[in-house]
Amino acid sequence: MSLINFMSSSVGRLVRVVAGVALIVVGLALGGGWLTLSVIGLVPLLAGALNVCLLAPLMGQPLKGR
């Protein structure tokens, strides 16, 4: 539950955005089949940008972050 609380916080939001950008950059840098990693990186990037925690509803918490 503490992971969900962390990911719903402002710092967790920043972590999601940074992780998403990192996945996108690595996927683009490696190219080829690794471009799929860039597409996957859009999920945490958008989740952080829109301030939603996709795991929170699984634990009975609200989708929207604090």
**Local confidence band at 45 (pLDDT 50, 70, 90 cut-offs):** very high
Which residues constitute the domain of residue 42? 2-59
The tens digit of pLDDT for each residue in 4-32 reads 889 888 999 999 999 999 999 999 999 99
Is 64 a domain residue?
no
Distance CA(58)–CA(30), nearest Å, equals: 34
Beta strands in the chain (DSSP E): none
pTM to 2 decimal places: 0.85
Is 50 part of any domain?
A: yes
First CA to last CA across the chain, in angstroms?
15
CA dihedral 12, 16, 22, 24 (to 10 degrees): -170
- Of residues 23 and 1, more confidence is placed in 23
User: Do 66 and 18 meet the contact criterion of CB atoms below 8 Å apart?
Assistant: no
Q: Looking at residue 53, what DSSP letter applies?
A: -
DSSP state of 59: G
pLDDT in tens, 51-65: 998 888 988 888 887
Q: Tell me whether residue 18 is in a domain.
A: yes
Structural domain tally of the chain?
1
